[in-house]
Structure 1
C-alpha cells in the first residue's frame, strides 16, 4: 500500500494506531526541543510541540507532497506536566503522585497538507491506590522508563488504571477520532470503499 501521509514520529504506538485504522504512512521523525516554556499551559504546550514537529518535518520533506502528521502527548497532574522519568527515583515519585488520583492526558495532533489542521484531545485517567511493592514490580518491567507519567496504558500499566473518561487512543499517543477528522479535511478517508 502506498503511503498516504508522512508520520513525523518514531513512536511505535503511533504507528500501531495508524495501522489500526488502515492509514499507510512513511516514517520521518524529527528532533526538536520539547521543553515546556515557563508557565506554559498544558494544552498550549502539546499544541505547540505537535505543530513544531509537523512544521520541521514539512520543511525537510516538502518535495514528497504528502500531508505530514505529528502529535504530542502530555500527562498532567494538578496543572503540572509530567514528562518521561529521568531515572528510577523520578519514576517512583511520579507513580506515587498519580496513585489514587485523577489526572489528565493532553494529546494534540497537527496535520500539514494543503492547509494546517490541529486538534486537541483531553482525557481524564484515574489511578487506583498503588503500593510500594507494586510500583517496584512495575518499574522492574522497564515499561515506565520511557513513558510520559511513567506508565503505558496499552501495556502492563493498564492494571494501574481504575477508569478513563475520554479517548483511550489519545492516552496511548494519537487520538484516532480527531486524527480521522483532520485526515478527512485533507481528503483522506479512513472508511472508504
Structure 2
C-alpha cells in the first residue's frame, strides 16, 4: 500500500493494473522549468517535488509515489497546452517528427528516496491543419503533456514507438513495479 501524489486518472488506472493499492494525497507544486534546467533535470525534479509534497500531506505511514511526464522535441519541452493556439503550435512541432517522452517517478518516505527516469521515442505522422483542429475539439489534448493522449484518439497520429507505451500514458508499468519493490526492500533497512 502506498500513497499516490497525483490526480491523474491514467496513473491511477496504471497502478491498479499492476496490483498496487494506493490512496491519493494532494501534491500541489509549481510546475515551471528553471532557466538552466535540462528537460531530464526538470521532469525528475517535478516527480520528486510531487512525492515530497504528497508525503507532507500524508499520514507518513507508507511511501509516497510522485510522477511527471514531459514531451521534448529538439530540447523544447511541450507541456500541457494553455489554449487552442498553444495546442496547435505543439502539434505542428510534433507533426512528422520524433519526440522524446520522459516520465520520471519518485518514491519517498521520511528517510529514503528512490527515483527513475524512462525515455520513450514517439514518432508522429504528418498532420494536417484539419486534423489538428478536429483533435482539439475532442477535448482530449487539454490535460496532457504534449497536448495528446496516446491511449486515446491521439494514438492515431503515432507511426512508431520505441520504449514504454505505458510511460507515455503516464507511468511505466515494469519500472514502477520494480521501483516500488526496491524501495520497500531498501527502506526496510533504513528505518
Which residue does the alignment assign to 1:130? 127
2:98–2:121 CA contact under 8 A, matched in 1: yes
Match of 1:52 among 30, 49, 60: 49
Partners of 1:106 and 1:5 in 2: how far apart? 23
Match of 2:18 among 16, 21, 28: 21
TM-score using structure 1 length? 0.92
DSSP 3-state at the match of 2:45: helix
Which residue does the alignment assign to 2:107? 111
Match of 1:142 among 131, 139, 146: 139
Output aligned runs, 1:30-109, within 5 Å: 30-61=27-58, 63-109=59-105
- Gaps of at least 5 residues in structure 1 are 189-193
Partners of 1:132 and 1:47 in 2: how far apart? 34
Partners of 2:70 and 2:183 in 1: how far apart? 26
Which residue does the alignment assign to 2:117? 120
Number of equivalent positions:
184
Pick which of 80-89 and 109-118 moved more: 109-118
**Cα-to-partner distance string for 1:123-169 (whole Å, 9 max, x where unaligned):** 00000111111111111101012211110001000001001100111
TM-score using structure 2 length? 0.93
Shift in Å, 1:39: 2.9
2:5–2:51 CA contact under 8 A, matched in 1: yes
DSSP 3-state at the match of 2:104: strand
**Cα-to-partner distance string for 1:52-104 (whole Å, 9 max, x where unaligned):** 1111111222x341110000110001001111111111111110110000010
Which residue does the alignment assign to 2:177? 180
